[in-house]
Amino acid sequence: PHPLPLSLSHTGGGGGGREKNPSMATIVNTTEEEPMLAVVRSTAQLAWADAGPEVADPEVARLCAEAQQHLLAGRWLDMATLMLASADLLLLSPSAPDKAAADLECILTVICNLVTMAGSEDEALEIAKLICAKLTHQPPADKPTLRIKVLFSLYNLLPSLSGKAMVYRKALEVAAAAAGKAAADCVVPTFKNIDAFVAYWGIGKPEQRELFLAITRILKDHKGMTKDYFKFLNKYLATFDGS
């Protein structure tokens, strides 16, 4: 079985009514310490590790104090900015051992959980955009399966349907940019439920066109998926009907 629980599953309901939420299964690890402050502290310590304690300790204390202020004031967008900046070092580091990769996943999962604390859907969406930018604007070919897994976790946490659609497209963007088959294998199983997702998100023809084109780009070079490639190519072309 695939080591990452990344497949989308749609639970359809009989009769009419709104589409149920097609969601992704994911495993989330937590820490005993306040997770957000723990992330800021640990990543700051890593970032300043080479500077020596006389320089590092005041900087770590400053970042932790800033995070504490954001936490107490409920400034979740500011908190996300601070935490993502702190996580840069780990994201940009060379491929790491399993433990370091697990630590990075845990850190990014804690950051993703900020969307559940936002005061509105708009604020949650802004936080999600920051996270997506961090995971896709850096070299997306580095640690692609981890990035996709984190994006899928973010998808599950977002309340906004347009936000969910955006995050899913970002996951496809990472998969398309990655070399090798592993990243594509993370997203290909979700394609069988794409019609349910499109209906659930309620996205229009332009967004569907962008989505189907992204899928065809992934399937084009995926061995044994020729039939699916042409199916999604036809879906893409069908979005031009009536234009």
Q: What pLDDT does 137 receive?
A: 81
Q: Residues 201-210: what's their mean pLDDT? A: 95
| Backbone dihedral angles phi then psi of residue 226, each to the nearest 5 degrees | -60, -45
Alpha helices in the chain (DSSP H): 35-47, 53-73, 76-92, 98-112, 121-137, 144-157, 161-177, 182-187, 194-201, 205-220, 226-238
Percent of the chain with pLDDT over 90: 56
Q: Which of 43-57, 83-97, 162-176 has the highest mean pLDDT?
A: 162-176
Residues spanned by the domain of 78: 8-179
Q: What predicted TM-score, i.e. pTM, was given to this entire model?
A: 0.81
Q: What pLDDT does 143 receive?
A: 84
Domains identified in the chain, total number: 1
Whether residue 206 is contained in a domain is answered as no
CA angle 53, 58, 59 (to 5 degrees): 100
Q: Which of 25-29, 95-99, 116-120 has the highest mean pLDDT?
A: 116-120
Whether residue 57 is contained in a domain is answered as yes
Whether residue 199 is contained in a domain is answered as no
